Chain A
Amino acid sequence: NAGVTQTPKFQVLKTGQSMTLQCAQDMNHEYMSWYRQDPGMGLRLIHYSVGAGITDQGEVPNGYNVSRSTTEDFPLRLLSAAPSQTSVYFCASSYSYSPLNTGELFFGEGSRLTVL
């Protein structure tokens, strides 16, 4: 099973450039989310989605856009990259409505982004 797949694993951008981090899951999970991980700060929620066509903001949404056109895919777009967006980005998914839903998140391996 592939689980949650993120691409690219590494990316270097210049300030002002735009890019899209891709995330796909093959577990038919309704819920998908993006986190960023910074040293000493743990993971912070950027955006999340509870199903196709539905997205909402998390704790740190500024500078990022998302869309959810299918259940499987949840891309994260950086519109105009800034050095403050240098981070490791994780996509995660889970069931939303299963009776056994414990909220367990399944994570991708991460995308390390450097903005110069």
Chain B
Amino acid sequence: GEDVEQSLFLSVREGDSSVINCTYTDSSSTYLYWYKQEPGAGLQLLTYIFSNMDMKQDQRLTVLLNKKDKHLSLRIADTQTGDSAIYFCAEKFGNNNDMRFGAGTRLTVKP
């Protein structure tokens, strides 16, 4: 099937690192994305990675891409309570900007 898969829940302590994993489906996807959704709000782009890259770092965020295994991960260093949200992995498919989303990982950060 054509599913983007990610675990539904992750709980960490404030100050720890969080790692959210995702497997995607389309080996021809040019871009892969991480979106963040805070309670009662729409999704906002957190970061993205182009398919010819293995890693992308942006301040506390590190994205790793393993194209062979179709595996994408998001690492948040020094996780803060404000990072508590739902994180969606997504892949672009087709010729337009249609996205295929995972079910979302709910990150809970405990003080």
Contacts and interface: CB of A to CB of B under 8 A. Distances in A.
A103 interface: yes
A1 interface: no
A43 B37 CA distance: 12
A84 interface: no
Contact of A40 (B45, B48, B50, B103): B103
Interface in A11-65: 31, 33, 35, 40-45, 48, 50, 58
A43 B42 CA distance: 11
Interface of B: 4, 8, 30-31, 33, 35, 40-45, 48, 50, 88, 92, 96-104
11 contacts: A31-B96, A35-B101, A40-B8, A42-B103, A48-B96, A92-B43, A94-B97, A103-B99, A105-B97, A109-B42, A110-B41
Contacts of A110: 40-42
Given A42-B4, A94-B97, 16 more contacts: A4-B42, A41-B103, A48-B97, A48-B98, A58-B98, A90-B42, A96-B96, A96-B97, A103-B33, A103-B99, A105-B45, A107-B42, A107-B44, A109-B40, A109-B41, A110-B41
Contacts, number: 64
Given A45-B98, A45-B99, A103 B42 contact: no
Contacts of B88: 42-43
Nearest to B89: A42
Contacts of B40: 109-110
B96 A43 contact: no
Given A4-B42, A90-B42, A90-B43, A105 B99 contact: yes
A15 B107 CA distance: 35
Nearest to B96: A50
